[in-house]
Structure 1
Amino acid sequence: MLCYAKQIHQVFIKNAYVFPFCLAFGILSTQFNFDDWIFLVVVGFVGAFGVTFWHLFDYEKFNEISYEDFLESKHTLELEYSKENWDQFYEMIKNPLLDLEIIESTENTLKVQFERKFSDSILTINKTPDAIIISIEKKFFSFLSDRAENYRTIQKFAKSSKKLNSIATSGT
C-alpha cells in the first residue's frame, strides 16, 4: 500500500514539473489573451496529467521497477567487476546497434550519447576495482520522465551482464 502512495506522490511531483510547460502552451495558443485565465489553468492541469499518465503506462510495463526509478529518466546500475563484463560492455559501445556518439573513452570510463526522439541520453560506464557503475540520464530536462526509454536501456545492460550485483536504481 505504501508503494502506491509513493507512486501517487511521484505522479503529482511530475505534474508540477509539466504544468508550467502546458500552461505556457495554452497562453501561447490564445495569443496572450488572459480574459479566460481559469480556462488556461484548467488546460495546463489537464495537459500535465495527460502527459504524466501517458508516461505512467510505459513505466507500468515493468513489474519489478522500484519507486526510485518510477517516472524518472536518471538510472544507475552497479555490477560486480569482471574483465568479461567490462570487455562485453566496451564491445557493445564500440560496435553499437543504435546510433550513438562516443563522448569520452578512457581506460576506466566510457561516456556515450544516444540519439533519442526528443532529448538525447548520456550513458556513462565507470570501472572501479570491484564494480562497474553504469548510469544513464537525459541530456536536457533530466527532471522529466522519458517514457521508460532510459530504464529499458539500462535493463538491457543488466540482462546482458554475466554477474549481477544489484538492480538499477535512480538518484545517483
Structure 2
Amino acid sequence: MKNKTIKFLLKVFMFFPVCFGVMLWFDGFDLNDWIFKIVVGFVGAFGLTFWQLFDYEKYSDIAYEDFLESKHSLRLDNSEENWSKFQEMIENPLLKLKITEKTENKLKVQIERKIIDSILTVSKTPDAIIVNIENKFFSFLPDRAENYRIIQKLAKRSQRSKSILTSGA
C-alpha cells in the first residue's frame, strides 16, 4: 500500500529510537519513569517528522517514492546538450561544490551543506544520462526536501526529459 500517511508513520517509528535514546542520555540512563520517556520519544519523533512534512508538501506532484526521502534519481536523454549542461553547472556552480570524481562518462560532486553534505552523481550510459542525489551520511533520513529541490531544478534546466523522477537507484 503506497500511502503518504503510512510513510509518515514509518518515518516517525524510524526517528523514535533516536529521540528515545537522547531522552535516556539526558536522564542518565535511568529507567525508573520509562513510560514518560517513551511518550517523549514518540512526541519528539512525531515533531521531527512533522517538521519535515511541510517542506515535502510544498510539492503537490511529489511521488510516493520521493516523499520524506533524501535519495532521488532522474533519467534524461543521452544528448550532448544535456551532458554539456551538467559540465557547465559543475564548472560554474551556484552552490558550494567539491568535485570528487570526474571522468568522460561520470561526474561525482559533493554539495556542501550546513549539517550533512549531499552527493550528486551524473552517469552517462549509451542511451541515457542518470542523475542521482543522496545525503552523504544517513541517506534514509528526510532532508527537508533539499535534494528534491535540486533534482527538480536539474530536470527543468535539462532538455528532453526522458522519464519522471524516481527515488533510489
TM-score, normalising length from structure 1?
Answer: 0.95
CA distance in structure 1 between the aligned counterparts of 2:103 and 2:168, rounded to whole angstroms? 24
Aligned-partner residue type, residue 7 of structure 2: Q
User: Residues 120 and 138 of structure 1 are in contact (CA less than 8 Å); yes or no, is this contact kept in structure 2?
Assistant: yes
In structure 2, the partner of 1:141 is 138
User: Residues 69 and 170 of structure 1 are in contact (CA less than 8 Å); yes or no, is this contact kept in structure 2?
Assistant: yes
- What is the root-mean-square deviation in Å for CA atoms of aligned residues? 1.0
CA distance in structure 1 between the aligned counterparts of 2:115 and 2:39, rounded to whole angstroms? 26
**Pairwise CA distance, 1:144:** 0.6
- 1:62-100 Cα offsets, whole Å, 9 max, x none, are 011000100011000000111011001111012111111
Q: Confirm whether residue 155 of structure 1 aligns to residue 156 of structure 2.
A: no
Q: Confirm whether residue 42 of structure 1 aligns to residue 39 of structure 2.
A: yes
In structure 2, the partner of 1:84 is 81
Aligned residues: 169
**Pairwise CA distance, 1:171:** 2.2
Per the alignment, in what secondary structure is the counterpart of residue 33 of structure 1? coil
Structure 1 unaligned residues grouped into runs of 5+: none
In structure 1, the partner of 2:129 is 132
CA distance in structure 2 between the aligned counterparts of 1:16 and 1:59, rounded to whole angstroms? 18
Equivalent residue for 1:10, pick from 7, 12, 15 = 7
Q: Which residues in structure 2 correspond to 1:84-103 (within 5 Å)? A: 84-103=81-100
**Pairwise CA distance, 1:30:** 1.2
User: Residues 137 and 150 of structure 1 are in contact (CA less than 8 Å); yes or no, is this contact kept in structure 2?
Assistant: yes
Q: Which runs of 4+ in 1 moved over 4 A?
A: none
User: Percent of aligned pairs with the same residue?
Assistant: 60
Q: Which residues in structure 2 correspond to 1:64-83 (within 5 Å)? A: 64-83=61-80
Per the alignment, in what secondary structure is the counterpart of residue 35 of structure 2? helix
Structure 2 unaligned residues grouped into runs of 5+: none
TM-score, normalising length from structure 2?
Answer: 0.97
In structure 2, the partner of 1:169 is 166
Per the alignment, in what secondary structure is the counterpart of residue 171 of structure 1? coil
In structure 2, the partner of 1:26 is 23
User: Residues 11 and 52 of structure 1 are in contact (CA less than 8 Å); yes or no, is this contact kept in structure 2?
Assistant: yes
CA distance in structure 2 between the aligned counterparts of 1:166 and 1:93, rounded to whole angstroms? 23
Q: Confirm whether residue 55 of structure 1 aligns to residue 52 of structure 2.
A: yes
CA distance in structure 2 between the aligned counterparts of 1:74 and 1:108, rounded to whole angstroms? 21
CA distance in structure 2 between the aligned counterparts of 1:40 and 1:126, rounded to whole angstroms? 46
